[in-house]
Amino acid sequence: MHLLDVDDLTTDELTAVLDRAADIKGPDGEDASDLLDQQTLGMIFEKPSTRTRVSFETGMTQLGGHAIFLGPDDIHLGHGEPVKDTARALARYVDFVMARVYDHEDVEGLAEYSDVPVINALTDDAHPCQTLADLLTIREQFGGFEDAEVAWVGDGNNVCQSFVLGAAMVGLDLTVATPAGYEVDEDVLARAADLGGAPETTHDPEAAVADADVVYTDVFVSMGQEDEREEKLAEFEGFQVTPELLGDRILMHCLPAHRGEEVTDDAIESENSVVWDQAENRLHAQKGLLAWLSEQG
């Protein structure tokens, strides 16, 4: 099976992955140090990464396996070899493929031709591994999903879209505030509706956070959108998460943060910020995912 977006899992499977992650995390976690003995993860990166690369690579080490970093200049993908050939060749060597690419169709192509699981590590449309860590973080903070209300404030981007799906699956109350023209794709909202509930949507950040326990934001200018920078910064005026907007709510951010744009320095450095726990949970969530995937037929 592949994880191209969160809804490739059923809700039961998503819960199983989160439970496995929590079991391995501890404090008295299962000994997972030999779980992926002799297994290898191929990691394709077309875009930069701090958390995703290091958490996957470290996770494989901690599970007894090994990871190979394949940067844009290391392999032929996208310049000299079709995606389907890379997929078939890699699957003859490695046990899992993880890919961070621009075009979502490229992870779909990898998955179509790969005999081993393909994990989406961020495309322009989706970031399911981030959602796993986000849900783990919210579950830790609130002891479940029933008592947490989340407001997304910012771009209806890749991180937001996967979070919308994950929230629908676990029954998390979510409101999404974006500027006009930067909403979550209709297709994602329709999938969320089928999964249990599309979020409330608004163009008003104040209204979105009114009943929220958590405010979640991400950069206004994502990787690959550098040419839209000036236009986007103007369109997103009023969507910055400040201490005033945050109030006593928890702040989440997938990172990297562009302080002074989507979030102020004093908001992200405040006691309300759980961004480092969230970043740490990338490691635990992905270890849970890899362990769970290795046990599927």
Q: Catalytic residue numbers?
A: 100, 127, 130, 218, 254, 282
- Burial class, 146, CB count within 10 angstroms (exposed 0-12 / middle 13-18 / buried 19+): exposed
Phi, psi of 254 (to 5 degrees): -70, -20
Distances in Å between the Cα of 232 and the Cα atoms of 93, 106, 158, 180, 220 are: 42, 26, 16, 11, 7
The binding track of 204-223 with respect to ligand NVA, each residue x by CB under 6 A or -, is --------------xx--xx
| Contacts (CB under 6 A) with ligand NVA, residues 251-270 | 254
Q: Confirm if 171 and 142 have CB atoms less than 8 A apart.
A: no
Cβ-based nearer residue to ligand CP, 40 or 158: 158
Give the one entry of ligand CP, ligand NVA, none that residue 267 binds, where binding means its C-beta sits below a cut-off of 5 to 8 angstroms depending on kind.
none
Cβ-based nearer residue to ligand NVA, 40 or 161: 161
Cβ-based nearer residue to ligand NVA, 159 or 168: 159
Of the residues 75, 94, 101, 159, which one makes contact with ligand NVA according to CB under 6 A: 159
Q: What is the DSSP string of 33-68?
A: TTTTTT-EEEEEESS--SHHHHHHHHHHHHTT-EEE
Interface with ligand NVA includes 68 (CB under 6 A)? Answer: no
Q: Which residues of 97-135 are buried (b: 16+ CB within 10 A; e: fewer)?
A: bbbbbeebebbbbbbebbebbbbbbbbbbbbbbbbbbbb
The DSSP 8-state label assigned to residue 78 in this structure reads: T
| Least distance to ligand CP, CB of residue 159, Å | 7
| Contacts (CB under 6 A) with ligand CP, residues 39-78 | 49-52
CB-based closest residue to ligand NVA: 222
Q: Cα 278 vs. chain centroid, distance in angstroms?
A: 11
Q: Which two tokens stand for residue 65?
A: 């396996």
Say if residue 129 carries a ligand binding annotation: yes
Q: Name the segment binding ligand NVA (CB under 6 A); options: 72-80, 154-162, 190-198, 287-295.
A: 154-162
| Least distance to ligand NVA, CB of residue 122, Å | 6
| Least distance to ligand CP, CB of residue 250, Å | 17
Give the footprint of ligand CP on this chain (CB under 6 A): 49-52, 122, 130, 254-256
Interface residues toward ligand NVA, by CB under 6 A: 122, 157-159, 218-219, 222-223, 254
